Amino acid sequence: MSDSSLRVLIVEDDPHVRLGCQQALALEDIETDSVGSAEEALKKVGADFPGIVVSDIRMPGMDGLQLLEKLKERDPSLPVVLITGHGDIAMAVKAMRDGAYDFMEKPFSPEKLVDTARRALAQRALTREVSQLRRQLAGKQALESRLIGRSPAMQALRELIANVADTSANVLIEGETGTGKELVARCLHDSSRRQPKPFVALNCGGLPESLIDSEIFGHEAHAFTGAGKRRIGKIEHADGGSLFLDEIESMPLNLQIKLLRVLQEQQLERLGSNELIRVDCRVIAATKSDLAVMGREGTFRSDLYYRLNVITLNLPPLRERREDILMLFEHFLQQSSLRFDRPAPAIDNATAATLMAHDWPGNVRELRNVAERFALGLPVLAGGNLGPDAGEPRFAEAVEAFERSLLSTALERHAGNLSQAAHALGMAKTTLFDKVKKYGLKGE
């Protein structure tokens, strides 16, 4: 078992048997959790539970067979081992036809328990590894078409997303306005096993403070004036999926405390209710501010910040990846031309130079807007500028960005082979090597 997160969940109403199972597995360095009922087990086993379940069949309330059915609905590949009493063998055989991994008849030896658990854990590890590799492969192919760019920053971003998308860890996305934070959040969700479940987005800065509590946590009927019926909040709606909280820095401090409690306890209370509701959602937060600084200033809770930034993705502004500008502009131009049912106009050298030299304060969002205007034939480049405040193009920056884009394209076409790329470009291999080193490109 190479996956250190794998564990055995023991479901047994007899505390002595439960303790004995835990001790037998612990002696063999197998991690365990235990609960006394099937109802408690269902609260523990979410969409990406990293382990197996060993459950007694005969228990008060929901029995082991009903638990098996519920667990298989959530995850058909989850190994479930059933513990049977004398005379329950026929029942256990039927359960195996219904998807149980194996069964053990009481009384069983510690060695039998350990051997069965090891085999089930090995199968679980293999299944999870295969599923993860498939999702990563599909995710990488999808990411190439959704997060466009050849710059080292974008290549590193796609690689990181592919590696962390299938975990349940919370993610904090940092970046300026217009860099594509929601798109990255959707890519994280779509590349994970949570993809079939909801992706729920909420802009924390787009709601009045009086409504954001109800929007996030929900409310019961008559919880406040105007609350005519129960409302399911965004967190509860995202159960099993992903919750995207944009402009998290705008969330009021009192709601930050409630969100922190949900992240810690994995349960919430609707406004006007005392009932605790179990939730399993991955939180992806986005900010254009420095939350660490805000924490020191007391305008954002530091404990919530550390809960959110288990994984941090930094989105570079467009001005720091100029080699991607023309590729992105061409992509948006083709999309706009199809939408407007017009032929895509040609991008001449003067237009390309102006695009490369602009600072793009609105980042990718601004570039998309310019591409739409260009597709409509509007004079967006009148006077050689993108607008009245664009300023004069910086020649040196434009030349460097164009050169980096040209070299990156050539290396990609020749699979990183420096000799072939240099020949195609008509330049000495040593010159190309120096430029590859200068721009941080990859070549062999």
Segment 63-111, tens digit of pLDDT: 989 999 999 988 888 999 999 876 667 777 778 888 899 989 888 999 9
Domain topology for 7-130: Rossmann fold (3.40.50)
Element (H, E) at 91: helix 89-97
Predicted pLDDT of residue 52: 94
Virtual torsion, Cα 251, 313, 369, 407, nearest 10 deg = 170
Q: How far apart are CA 253 and CA 71, in angstroms?
A: 38
Does 26 score more than 90 pLDDT? yes
* 202 C-beta neighbours (distance < 10 Å), count: 22
Q: How far apart are CA 90 and CA 274, in angstroms?
A: 44
Predicted pLDDT of residue 258: 92
E strand residue ranges, 272-347: 277-278, 282-287, 311-314
pLDDT-based confidence at residue 307 (cuts at 50, 70, 90): very high
Q: What are φ and ψ of residue 5, in 5° steps?
A: -85, -10
Domain topology for 147-316: Rossmann fold (3.40.50)
In the three-class reduction of DSSP (H, G, I as helix; E, B as strand; rest coil), residue 238 is classed as coil
Predicted pLDDT of residue 17: 92
What contacts 336, CB < 8 A, 6 or more positions away? 371, 372, 374, 375, 376
Residue pLDDT, tens place only, 196-238: 899 999 999 888 877 888 889 998 888 887 777 888 999 999 9
Q: How far is CA 327 from CA 186, 364, 390, 400, in A?
A: 22, 12, 21, 16
**Residues belonging to the chain:** 444
Residue pLDDT, tens place only, 243-300: 999 999 999 998 999 999 999 998 999 988 888 999 999 999 999 999 999 999 999 9
Element (H, E) at 83: strand 80-84
Does 349 score more than 70 pLDDT? yes
pLDDT above 90 coverage of the chain, percent: 48
CB-count exposure of residue 407 (10 Å: 0-12, 13-18, 19+): buried
Residue 351 · residue 381 · CB < 8 Å = yes
Strands 277-278 and 267-268: antiparallel
Predicted pLDDT of residue 139: 57
Predicted pLDDT of residue 300: 95
Q: Pull the structure tokens for residue 280.
A: 């399993």
Q: Pull the structure tokens for residue 253.
A: 């401090």
The rounded mean pLDDT for the chain is 86
Q: What is the mean pLDDT of residues 327-355?
A: 88
Q: Pull the structure tokens for residue 24.
A: 């037998």
Residue 120 · residue 92 · CB < 8 Å = no
Alpha helices in 147-239 (DSSP H): 152-164, 181-190, 209-217, 234-237
Q: What are φ and ψ of residue 355, in 5° steps?
A: -60, -40
Residue 385 · residue 414 · CB < 8 Å = no
The lowest-confidence range among 57-71, 122-136, 161-175 is 122-136
Does 396 score more than 80 pLDDT? no
| Domains in the chain: boundaries | 7-130, 147-316, 319-439
Q: Which amino acid is at 390?
A: A
Q: What is the mean pLDDT of residues 311-336?
A: 92
Q: How far is CA 355 from CA 178, 249, 326, 350, 441, in A?
A: 17, 32, 7, 9, 22
Closest CA to 79 of 104, 100, 110: 100
What contacts 104, CB < 8 A, 6 or more positions away? 81, 82, 83, 84, 112, 113, 116
Show the 3-state SS of 374-421: HHCCCCCCHHHCCCCCCCCCCHHHHHHHHHHHHHHHHHHHCCCCHHHH
Does 444 score more than 70 pLDDT? no
Closest CA to 106 of 40, 14, 41: 14
Please determine whether the domains at 7-130 and 147-316 fall in the same fold group of CATH.
yes
Predicted pLDDT of residue 305: 96
* 423 C-beta neighbours (distance < 10 Å), count: 14
Does 1 score more than 50 pLDDT? no
The angle subtended at Cα 336 by Cα 332 and Cα 341, nearest 5°, is 150
Predicted pLDDT of residue 293: 94
Residue 248 · residue 285 · CB < 8 Å = yes
pLDDT above 70 coverage of the chain, percent: 90
